[in-house]
Amino acid sequence: MNDEQLKEQFQVLRARLVPPPELVDRVAAAVAQEAADASVRESPSATDGNPILKHDSSASVRTDSTGPTGPRLDSTRPGRARPRDGRRPRGTRWIGIVGGGGLAAFMAVAMVVSGVLPGSGSPAVNPWPAPVVVSDHPGRTAPAQPGVADPTAYADVYAALVATSNTGRAADAGWASATGGDTSVGSAPASTANAADGAMESAGGAASSSNASATNTQVAGIDEGDIVKTDGSYLYVAHQRRVAIVVGAGADTHEVAAIDVSGLTAGDEVTTGPVVDLMIQGDRLIVLTHGFEADFDQWASGSPTWISMEASSLKAAIYDIADPTAPRHITTLSQSGSYVDSRLSDGVLYLVSNQIVSPAKVDPGVPATFVPEVGQGSTVAPVPPDTIEILPGATEPTYSVVTSLDVTSGSRLGEQVVLGGTATVYMSQSNIYLSADRWSYNTDGQDEAKPLPGGAGSFVGGRTQLTRIGLNGGALAVEAQGELPGSLLNQFSLDEVDGNLRVVTAYGTTGSDSDPGWWKTVPALWVLDSQLAVVGSIPQLVSNEQVQSVRFAGSIAYVVTYEQVDPLFTIDLSDPTAPTVMSELKIPGFSSYLHPFGDNLLVGVGTDADSDGVIRGLKLTMFDVTDPYDVREITTARITGDETEVARDHKAGFFDVERGLIGFPVTAWPASIDAKPAGGSGGETPQIQWRYELYQWDGAQFTHLTTIDLVADMGVTSSEAATGAIDLTTRGVRIGDEFYIVTSQAVVAYDMTAYAKLTTVALSR
């Protein structure tokens, strides 16, 4: 950034320190008008039918909610953002008024956001700028600046953003009213199929051909972004702000080209960040990265020698790799926010990002400052207001931005924005499901008990908000929304079959009268229809145990919970209205990840423990699920180690069912330094073991093939690995008859006979 640009940014910062004179004048005029109209407002006839002028506490800006059993969200697209039930958000409808009530509406906003209306608690400084004042003359609105989107078209959106800090209490009330009835039984037809039919066949997993392995995914036919991809001949490796293209040729493996994304900046972006994920579709490579802007607000209030940066946009750069040695940039598409997840199906890439809106950076007259933007190249624009959904329950000013991109043509097919951040993404062949954690407290800051769906008890703590977005060939649209008690473990807690969403959550309950402070965790399974209403459930699988892993396979669900031993629950879901536990296998330890491994087999990777629950390492277990009423443990291989990356990221697991191969990274800390801080004491350095374990399943037992010392083969020191100086993310990939281990440090090729190292391709740091 040159001197002139720095001067310009300084002037912007200085201007932000003083309220604009126009705003001061508008507020002063509004206050004067409010005083003049006080007697009118106090008249009963003047307040009939107007909840805001009545100072009703329900006027706090929020959206209506009928909870998980509420009406279907209309899929038609209105002219402006609103809930799908056809009503404007309660308390926001006046924002867009252009008639004689416009000025009074402005004052109501000022009172709501400053906390002076009755029922809003103690007055507080509100960080949100006042909304745009509309004209007092019917049919006229405040004109938009040239080249700027009309701010009045986004009035409901802005009001909902302001309201996010006031919706917690109201959300609890909505939940209570929505779950008062019996939602445990619905009208969904029961399946007559045998519970075990096709259980393993319908499960997702890594696609594997005779030539090469692929990313380990959840749903068959739907790819997921990862830091390593292969087209069967070349490896594409995300490495800092580069993509290294390495030909997989055994001992002759070498880098043939590299893509540098550092020049993909646009607008006010200063730089681009590291590559976060990759996708391949035919001869197209999609590189996902972020554009970063200098955060001058933080700079002004922080250190004079340090300027912070923030990710302002997620970028999908598309490259032609018909000739991998000479990749060619085609186009770059962008959307606001930071990366959450991605999926690729039938040539369409689906991207999900979260955009957090900072009130300090908002100008209500410029929608681009509070509305997500999408763009291509250097051209960006706010999303249309009819693509923004204001859903109930949002408690923070965060958008979920979902877009669909045609990879071949490099064009955007659609976008859908939801007010409310996304924590977990699951995608089926027809829908994307977004989940978000919701917490709320009463006026005393205490959590209150809420009824379970169906009225079978109560729970405390958070809820999971679910949003279903129909894919519709890329024409994305919100089609349903609902909530469940508790939280999800990860994306494997969700699965859709025949229009029903099956979900595993864990919620909190309080103790008995004799010990009211006791908290326990309860795992539960729920079946939701296409409108995300509960039609069947098992409200309590077991009491006071944590969910460790979940895997759905057709009409069967496998759920592992843990306290001291590992109960593997097998659940029949053939009748969505009446899920039933068929068996409960208890063995020491627990599986953190479950993977279908051919017909009637299920492999678990997790933690080994004794019968008292004392952890003693890791384990690899094969289960026989031929008879879901009598699931058996066939064999277990115990592994020395403290953790495996597969426990938190399924993509770190290598599962080649065709060849019976299973591989995963392991880290271990020697017992002699367990109690020492990083760096040791007296100048000592902790010696971490970072290795890769490969096993083969022969139909009856596991054969240990090899242990690969990654510290040695990657050319790093144990100190670098132990102190976090390097990224330990590890992937295993097979191309032909060679096996490749890829990390942020290098690509190492091995033969698949003795697993001897053939060559190392170091990635520049």
Contact 200, 596 (CB under 8 A): yes
Residue 232 half-sphere exposure toward CB, CA atoms < 13 A: 8
Predicted model pTM: 0.81
Contact 55, 118 (CB under 8 A): yes
Task: Kindly give the interhelix angle for 155-163 and 102-114, rounded to the nearest 10 degrees.
Answer: 20
- For the chain, the straight-line distance linking the first and the last C-alpha, in angstroms and rounded, comes to 25
Question: Pick from 49, 28, 30, 48: which is nearest to 38 by CA?
Answer: 30
Helix (H, G, I), strand (E, B) or coil at 440: coil
Residues of the chain by 3-state class (helix, strand, coil), percent to 5: 20, 40, 45
Residues of the chain whose pLDDT is less than 70? 1-125, 133-147, 165-210, 296-303, 440-446, 511-517, 671-686, 765
Radius of gyration in angstroms for the set of CA atoms belonging to the chain, rounded to a whole number: 28
The CA distances from residue 255 to 244, 295, 510, 737, 765, in Å, are 7, 37, 58, 19, 14
Handedness of CA 94, 98, 102, 106 (dihedral sign): positive
pLDDT the model gives residue 55? 29
How far is residue 715 CA from its own chain's centroid? Answer: 34
- Give the bridge partners for 310, in sequence order: 293
Residue 186 half-sphere exposure toward CB, CA atoms < 13 A: 22
pLDDT the model gives residue 725? 86
**Which one-letter amino acid corresponds to residue 21?**
P
Who's near 597: CB < 8 A, 6+ residues apart?
Answer: 200, 603, 622, 655, 657, 662, 697
- Give the bridge partners for 342, in sequence order: 351
Q: Could you count the other beta carbons within 10 Å of the beta carbon of residue 16?
A: 14
Contact 289, 351 (CB under 8 A): no
Contact 496, 428 (CB under 8 A): yes
Helix (H, G, I), strand (E, B) or coil at 571: strand
Who's near 441: CB < 8 A, 6+ residues apart?
Answer: 168, 169, 447, 448
Provide the pairing of β-strand 411-419 with 388-389: parallel
Dump the DSSP string for 35-85.
HHTHHHHHSHHHHTT-TTTTT-GGGSS-----GGGSPPPP-S--SS---TT
Contact 414, 369 (CB under 8 A): no
Handedness of CA 120, 126, 128, 129 (dihedral sign): positive
| Measured CA angle at 442 (ends 158, 465), to 5 deg | 55
Question: What is residue 104's DSSP assignment?
Answer: H
pLDDT the model gives residue 267? 85
